[in-house]
Amino acid sequence: MTSQDPYRHHPELRGRIKPAAQSFFRDLDMEALDARIAETGRGPDWRTPCALREAARRDWLHGHLDRDLWVFGYGSLMWDPGMEFTEVRRARAPGYQRSFCLWDDGGRGSPDQPGLMLAIDAGDWCEGLAFRLDAAQVEHETFVLFRREMIAPAYRPVWLPLDTAQGPITALGFVADRTCETIKPDIPHDEQARMIATAQGMLGTNFAYLADTHAHLALLGIDDPYINDIHNRASAYRAST
């Protein structure tokens, strides 16, 4: 293990994070994705136009595109970042926590049985992973990242102060945008569990998404009481019906 090894701080994570070249998100085919969305009856306005998204990315990252950049992952970004990175650290974001607050009536839900996807919203803390992007790669890697995270209105980029064992850092993160109608932060936990237990969309069942999140957090050694609680409630609901 050398100073250039991305896993030098956490060798236990090696093999548990998908290489960028293997990620579905690395070379996302927008036309193919639009076609799949159209099959659900939605029009082309379901997502943010590429030109607007790119303008927002460049505006947000103005002054940061020529230096190393940290990115915080709390969901699938942790095990499938889709980015080339030069360092990974376990990190904790104070003031935020995971929340199934993103309304989904297409991907993992339907108009008749909507589901819920994950975001981070105001709370106590969120433990995740921080990835450092090399300055020479920041331009392309953030293009890939914004295409994924900002594909449709739901999140907003923020600069997050993070605590790590190697010292404090500041990272780019994506949090719930409460100005979006798809963000619904006040759904009771029992109702969250019921929705997740029953919803299904073009990407599969909502419960499979929850179970995958729960399993990957365990694999990475991250214990999130909220995710454990929703998983237990949804599992119990499915067993009782």
pLDDT given for residue 124 in this prediction: 96
pLDDT by residue (tens digit) across 121-149? 999 999 999 999 999 999 999 999 999 99
Return d(Cα 99, Cα 208) in angstroms, integer: 16
**CATH at 88:** 3.10.490.10
Whether 99 maps to a domain, the answer reads yes
Residues 44-48, mean pLDDT to the nearest whole number: 84
Whether 229 maps to a domain, the answer reads no
Return d(Cα 4, Cα 44) in angstroms, integer: 43
Q: What is the dihedral of CA 130, 134, 137, 140, to 10 degrees?
A: 20
Whether 130 maps to a domain, the answer reads yes
Q: How many domains, the chain?
A: 1
pLDDT band per the 50, 70, 90 thresholds, residue 53: very high
Residues 201-229, mean pLDDT to the nearest whole number: 95
Strand partners, 155: 153, 176
26: tokens are 């690395």
Whether 4 maps to a domain, the answer reads no
Whether 236 maps to a domain, the answer reads no
pLDDT given for residue 1 in this prediction: 59
Whether 45 maps to a domain, the answer reads yes
149 classed as catalytic: yes
Residues 151-176, mean pLDDT to the nearest whole number: 97
**Catalytic one of 31, 149, 181, 191:** 149
Smallest CA-to-CA distance from 111 within 190, 200, 180, 34 is with: 200
Strand partners, 175: 156
Whether 5 maps to a domain, the answer reads no
Whether 176 maps to a domain, the answer reads yes
pLDDT band per the 50, 70, 90 thresholds, residue 12: very high
- Per-residue pLDDT at 157 exceeds 80: yes
- Cβ–Cβ under 8 Å, residues 53 and 157: no
150 lies in which domain range? 11-103+116-183
- DSSP string computed for 189-218: HHHHHHHHHH-EETTEEHHHHHHHHHHHHH
pLDDT given for residue 39 in this prediction: 80
Q: What rounded mean pLDDT belongs to the chain?
A: 94
- Per-residue pLDDT at 2 exceeds 70: no
Return d(Cα 79, Cα 71) in angstroms, integer: 13
